[in-house]
Chain A
Amino acid sequence: MKTTGLKTLAAGLLLTLGLTGIASCSANASASTAGTTAAAGAGEPANTKVVYRTLDEIKASGTVNIGVFSDKNPFGYVDENGEYQGYDVYFAERIGKDLGVNINYVSTEAASRVEYLETGKVDIVLANFTVTEERAQKVDFALPYMNVALGVVSPDSRIIKSLDEIGADDQVIVISGTTAETYLAANNPDIKLQKYDTYANAKNAFENGSGVAWANDNTEVIAFALQNKGYTVGIPELGSQDTIAPAVSKGNETLLNWLNDEIRALGSENFFHADYEATLVDTYGLDYENSLVVEGGVTK
């Protein structure tokens, strides 16, 4: 404990001095002409560097870094003993077992999932990650393991059944970096969005009546309405049916292929149905099992 503290102190001190130097350098540069500023600011392009670890490198290191949510019950959360749990984590545990390595869980936020993969700070993101075209340009998605659409939940006092019912002064709560935010901004630009960085903050704001409705993945809003009296999912399916899949850094083919083979192989033992029954059944009941679970990477 003491040594790590000292190490952090030493590393922090050195790097602060270093960065202070860099900051002053760039300050110098910006004070001079525009031409030199551009020259000083241009680092090497990021995409020439390999940021990710290959399958063999992960196996050799003995640890896989998996980015999961730590406050999104029942997909990824931490129980009272400090252990990660949930639908995504159940799968992550299996990945660790089949890779034969330990798992280092990294607590990620919705808004920073892409960045974590772009910088190789995690090997795999298993954080309820909806596959979108925009994201697929920055990260590589493996085969899906769950279905999802968007949904809108609102208080019983004023149930919103269609987006047309949202008035000019009304605000809709979304979480930054989620599909709901992108969809509403692109398709309904007139709707005022109230954005929150974390799931917990968005939930608190909605419960305190800061917005007329909360738009999120339909699994989230169904679960929310089932658990909280006084709220109803007025719009259960909005936009296109999407899937949730693991993601790896762009170009990490060895790991991507391994994950795809793993998901196909797990289909033969109905792994994700077992996962649903272990982690999601308390939240959604058995009614949603077949519509939510994607087995063996095959969507219907």
Chain B
Amino acid sequence: MWGIEVIFKGKNFLRLLGGLGTALEISATAVLISIPLGIILGVLMAGKNPVIKAILRVYLDFIRIMPQLVLLFLVFFGTTKAWGWDLSGEVSSVIVFSMWGAAEMSDLVRGSLAAIPKHQYESAQSLGFTPIQTKMYIIIPQTIRRLIPLSINLITRMIKTTSLVLMIGVVEVLKVSQQIIEANRMTAPDAAFGVYLFVFVLYFIACFIPSIFARKLEKKWS
């Protein structure tokens, strides 16, 4: 029904899981790089140095304005044309998603820090906390709590956007599904619905697990 049977033809099922694995490997690697990098950049953005703030602002806007597909082409083809680097599609994807993730994360961190009311600092000071103690015991815990849902949202966005990397030759889950649909276009012309439905379930699971984890963390820390 709906062409779901083609998913179980030959190695198709394993190929789809392998494609999901590729997508998750790229997004997980990018998350591991961009979250710490984004936190550092975000703290710098919330800081007082106007030069650093301006540079980071321009970086953030550059990454935001550029469509991710353009960034992928820039890194994959552009670096070869300009400097002769021969980056693989996977490494290019990790670079783009890390740059994008770090930019978005830095803005989330900056926003969360700015959202802490000034009286929190003042009350801490009047209770005799040193500036470092204020950050450690009062500001950072509150910031992290605010950041969890926001960064999970970012992570799921990154997982979903990996569907673009097929444009630079990385065969991830969506590309495998298109290959399966096309290979069966004579024997099962209606396979598109069933295969895309299955891909929807795969993406759903991949994005749902981090959000369950985040909800647990939020409950634990609230």
Contact = CB atoms under 8 A, between A and B. Distances in A.
B33 A13 contact: yes
Contact of A80 (B12, B25, B98): B12
A289 interface: no
B182 A16 contact: no
B182 A73 contact: yes
Interface stretch (A118-126, A132-140, A184-192, A237-245): A118-126
A28 interface: yes
Interface string B182-205: 111110010010000000000000
In the complex, which range does the number of interface residues on chain B fall in?
A: 35 or more
A77 B34 CA distance: 35
B167 A197 contact: yes
Given A12-B29, A82-B11, A200 B182 contact: yes
A35 B73 CA distance: 27
Nearest to A12: B94
Interface residues of A, number: 55
Contacts, number: 147
B167 A82 contact: no
Contacts of B32: 9
B90 A27 contact: no
Interface string A103-124: 0001111011001101111000
Which 9 pairs between the two chains have the least Cβ-Cβ distance?
A80-B10, A12-B94, A119-B80, A27-B58, A200-B178, A71-B182, A16-B98, A78-B179, A80-B9
18 contacts: A5-B29, A8-B25, A12-B33, A15-B95, A16-B94, A23-B63, A27-B62, A43-B82, A46-B82, A71-B179, A71-B182, A77-B179, A80-B11, A81-B11, A108-B169, A119-B77, A199-B182, A204-B192
